[in-house]
Structure formats: C-alpha cells, structure tokens
C-alpha cells in the first residue's frame, strides 16, 4: 500500500563503500513508497559499492551529494544504514560528523540501524539517549553515555534505531512515522 506520508520531504541516506545493501535499499524503498525523495550522501561523490554481509560485494549506487557539500538544512530527515566497513569509515570523517550533528541541532528525525550508531558516537549525540544497535556496539554506546537495549526498534526523541536486517520491517515503519512527524521540539544534541 502506497501512502503520501512523506510527500515533499527529502531524506538523506548517509553511506559509503561497504554499506549493508539491504539496510540501504529496504529503507530507501520505504521512503519512496511513502512519497518521499531519498538522496544518497557519502564521504565523496561518484559511486559506492554495497556489501551483502561483510564479505560479499553487492550492487553499486550513485552518490547524489558529498557530505561536505550539503547540510542538515537541505533535508527533512536522515537514514544511516549499517555495515561494518561503512560505519567504520563514516565515523572518523569530520564532514560526516558535522553533517550528522546538524540533524540533532535542528531537531530533525534520524534513523540508524546495525553498526550506524558508531557514527552517532563520534558525532557526540548519544549521551543520555536510549537506543539499540548491532550487539557488538553495546559497550561502545554505554561508554559514550547511552542506554543500550536489545530491542527490535527503539525511538528516543526522533532517533529511531534497530539492531540488524531482521528488524527492517519494524525499523522502516517507525522511521517513516518519525519522518512524517518531522522536527521534535524536545530533541537535544
């Protein structure tokens, strides 16, 4: 069933080489089905190659914008797919950290799955928040001041998180709902 919940909304998808393909494509399709306009933002322009798991190369995707050339003001929400290689590369990039922080500063909804919360840690936005992730990040998140829980989907003041590809149905539904609601006045960085 197609809805227009996100009609006129532009949603940034932040990913680079090594992104978990299904965690990019499934939310992307959910945004389109809800009437939104997904845009791929990466460390640099060109293309990125996704992965199926951590070992098998997936498809290639064209980047719409380099992270350093856009800001949170250009979008209505942010999706951060996982993938170990993807998250590890993104989390150490200063332009990516600033791009991500902008969404929190502007109280815009963010959705992060699997390993993506690594980037949230480096962007300095997890302290005092309740969230979930791939289980191997639990201690990293706790050490950064977050409350980590092992749940399918967690929403905390506009931040939607899930653990892995098995959670995508719940993640996509909550993500679209949060993007449709828009800015969250109580959200803090």
Distance, in Å, from the CA atom of 133 to the CA atom of 144, rounded to the nearest integer, reads: 14
Q: Please give the Cα distance from 43 to 102 (Å, whole number).
A: 16
Cα gap 91→69, rounded to integer Å: 17
Q: Are 86 and 18 in contact (CB under 8 A)?
A: yes
Q: Are 4 and 14 a contacting pair, CB within 8 Å?
A: no
135 is a catalytic site residue: no
* CA dist., res. 28 & res. 24, Å (int): 6
Question: Which candidate in 57, 65, 107, 114 is catalytic?
Answer: 114
Set 57, 65, 107, 115: catalytic member: 115
- Annotated catalytic residue 184: no
Return the ∠ at Cα 122 (arms to 176 and 175), rounded to 5°: 5
Q: What is the rounded distance in angstroms from the CA atom of residue 37 to the CA atom of residue 69?
A: 18
Encode 156-175: b = buried (16+ Cβ within 10 Å), e = exposed.
Answer: bbbbbbbbbbebbeebbebb
Identify any residues that bridge with 148 across adjacent strands, giving them in sequence order.
131
DSSP, collapsed to helix, strand or coil, labels residue 24 as helix
**Residues marked as catalytic:** 114-115
């Amino acid at each position: 069933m197609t809805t227009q919940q996100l009609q006129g909304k532009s949603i940034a998808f932040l990913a680079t080489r090594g992104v978990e393909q299904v965690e990019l494509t499934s939310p992307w399709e959910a945004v389109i089905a809800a009437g939104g306009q997904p845009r791929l933002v990466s460390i640099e322009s060109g293309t990125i190659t996704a992965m199926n798991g951590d070992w098998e190369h997936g498809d290639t995707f064209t980047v719409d914008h380099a992270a350093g050339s856009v800001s949170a003001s250009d979008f209505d929400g942010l999706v951060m797919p996982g993938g170990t290689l993807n998250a590890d590369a993104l989390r150490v990039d200063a332009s990516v950290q600033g791009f991500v922080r902008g969404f929190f500063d502007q109280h815009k909804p963010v959705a992060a799955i699997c390993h993506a919360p690594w980037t949230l840690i480096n962007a300095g936005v997890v302290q005092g928040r309740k969230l979930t992730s791939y289980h191997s990040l639990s201690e990293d998140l706790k050490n950064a001041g977050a409350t980590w829980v092992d749940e399918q989907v967690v929403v905390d003041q506009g931040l939607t998180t899930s653990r892995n590809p098995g959670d995508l149905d719940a993640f996509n539904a909550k993500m679209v709902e949060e993007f449709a609601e828009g800015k969250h006045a109580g959200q803090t960085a």
